[in-house]
Amino acid sequence: MASSSRSNQEKTRAILRRYATDEIGLDEAYYDLLEDELIPMPQRCGMSAKIPITKEDEVRLKDRIKSMDNDFQAKS
């Protein structure tokens, strides 16, 4: 994310913050990042199974996002 423009970094953080605070779900966050061209479109090569995500996985991810957001705001 350090190589992205400041505007793109802010957009990415805003989407991740909405996900971390349960305003949107993981799929919506993913599609918002794709739609705003903040992450690359995945390659379409064959079929792949969707990896199941546990509740614990989501809690850890959200905690990590919140931690990174707090670190960023402390530096600003």
Q: So what's the pLDDT on residue 48?
A: 66
Question: Which residues, including other chains, have CB under 8 Å from residue 39's CB and lie 6 or more apart?
Answer: 30, 33
Give pLDDT < 70 ranges for the chain.
Answer: 1-3, 45-49
Q: What is the pLDDT of residue 62?
A: 95
Reported as a single tens digit per residue, the pLDDT across 13-34 is 999 999 999 999 999 999 999 9
Asked if 11 and 34 touch (Cβ cutoff 8 Å), the reply is no
Q: What is this structure's pTM? A: 0.78
> What pLDDT score does 9 carry?
93
pLDDT at 46: 61
- Are 1 and 16 contacting, i.e. CB atoms less than 8 angstroms apart? no
Sequence letter at residue 20: A
